[in-house]
Amino acid sequence: MAGRPRKFNLEAAYNAATDLFWVQGYETTSLDQLLLMMQLSKSSFYQTFSSKKNLFEQCLSRYDEQSVVDMKKALAGAPSAIDFIRTTFSQLSAEAQRPSGRRGCLIMNTVVEFAQRDIKVARIFKRNIKSTKKIFTEAVTSAQTSGEISETLDPAIVADFLVTTIIGLKSQARAGSSSKKIADIADLVVASIINTTES
Amino acid sequence: MAGRPRKFNLEAAYNAATDLFWVQGYETTSLDQLLLMMQLSKSSFYQTFSSKKNLFEQCLSRYDEQSVVDMKKALAGAPSAIDFIRTTFSQLSAEAQRPSGRRGCLIMNTVVEFAQRDIKVARIFKRNIKSTKKIFTEAVTSAQTSGEISETLDPAIVADFLVTTIIGLKSQARAGSSSKKIADIADLVVASIINTTES
DNA sequence: TGCTTTAAGGACTAATCAGTTCTATATTCA
DNA sequence: TGAATATAGAACTGATTAGTCCTTAAAGCA
């Protein structure tokens, strides 16, 4: 057993592919572009990833997992729950200053591109939304306990509201809205959940 | 001069094309699908619309103009500015019950698909955002005068905030979120701008 | 040395794509 | 009637697509 070991960096190849899909979408990204960016021959590509579609699904899953890990880490490391929320939103405007922050959300981009017609994509989207919502629900509940968010609000709905605004803000970033504009909106979002009572 | 008059309905053809692009996006929609839905021969298609890209740009422009006309009409016909805002958001959840309400926003879908790489698309997007924002700014200012929204808030930022949440909610609708969920979030959005003070 | 696997590259397939060209027919007005 | 335009349909082009196949070389381990 045991043959020649893989020469290229699998992680780097996935990242290169993800970056391309993230900027261009699935359909618009050609195999040639992938091979170029991933620095792979066609042979190595198909031996490792089977197909363009399969690679894409793996990139999506990895993106999902990574983003959830990042958020959990951010919540766990934050001084308070409301601080986590505040930081999450202010990061959106900071990131919008770099091209990499103007790619939107890979999963939302994909949902827009594929809409209803791909079950695997829909599954990954639902999993990601569920995980994200859970983290924000925890944060909101915690902020309610410490009195920063009104207890009259349903934490699940506030979480959905926050996720919705993040989707909107990331879309705006992809569309080219200024970092300043995104910062202003983000501030209003955070202020609104702090001051709002009764659902 | 004067030859045989056009037999097919131009308006209906545009609408059929727009519906297809709206659901599927530009790249994924093939010429064959367009000819089928528009009920046109290839000859008539190219004679009338020149190219797939040109038709798409016209569909986008028409969508932009129509949506702005609709919003202006809604604002003008509403009992009050805050009522216009409330109705706009409750319509989002009502529409999400029908498949036609789960297509998202054609312009935002297009921006996600094309991102930075198409100037004409970017222009239409900016025009639409500007018009939409202007209408909401008017509504917010009016609601501030009548005391329903705090005068400490910047109407331009509140307008941007509302546009952002609409984008987020329409994306969620396209992604398949339930009408109930959208209604809950929409209610929170409206409540948040009514109760929030200081920007 | 053999077995196994990776890698690189070139040739190729089969499908699909938007768009063009051509012929024949239909319908309007002057 | 005749000029002008619309319609229909078929044939075709040229480019691009993802994916397969095959050959040759390299690199690991037993």
- CB proximity under 8 Å: A 138-197 to B: 153-154, 157-158, 160-161, 163-169, 171-172, 174-176, 181, 184-185, 187-189, 191-193, 195-197
| pLDDT tens by residue, A3-59 | 889 999 999 999 999 999 999 999 999 999 999 999 999 999 999 999 999 999 999
Q: What is the pLDDT, as a whole number, of residue B80?
A: 97
Rounded mean pLDDT, B85-94: 98
pLDDT band at residue B1 using 50, 70 and 90 as cut-offs? low
Whether B35 and chain A come into contact, CB under 8 Å, resolves to: no
| pLDDT tens by residue, A59-87 | 999 999 999 999 999 999 999 999 999 99
Nucleotides on chain C within 7 angstroms of protein Cβ: 3-11, 16-23, 26-30
| pLDDT tens by residue, B66-88 | 999 999 999 999 999 999 999 99
User: What's the mean pLDDT when you consider all of chain B?
Assistant: 95
Q: Are B192 and A187 an interchain contact pair (Cβ–Cβ within 8 Å)? A: no
Inter-CA distances, A94 with A181, A195, B168, Å: 11, 24, 20
Q: Are A108 and B112 an interchain contact pair (Cβ–Cβ within 8 Å)? A: yes
pLDDT band at residue B109 using 50, 70 and 90 as cut-offs? very high
Distance from C-alpha of A23 to C-alpha of B169, rounded to nearest angstrom: 22
pLDDT higher than 60, residue A167: yes
Residues of B in contact with A195 (CB under 8 A): 192, 195-197
| pLDDT tens by residue, B129-186 | 999 999 999 999 999 999 999 999 999 999 999 999 999 999 999 999 999 999 999 9
Q: What is the pLDDT, as a whole number, of residue A118?
A: 87
User: What's the mean pLDDT when you consider all of chain A?
Assistant: 95
Is A60-195 CATH 2.130.10.30? no
Rounded mean pLDDT, B3-10: 92
> How many CB contacts within 8 angstroms connect chain A with chain B?
135
Domain at B59-195, CATH from 3.40.630.30, 1.10.10.10, 1.10.357.10, 1.10.1040.10: 1.10.357.10
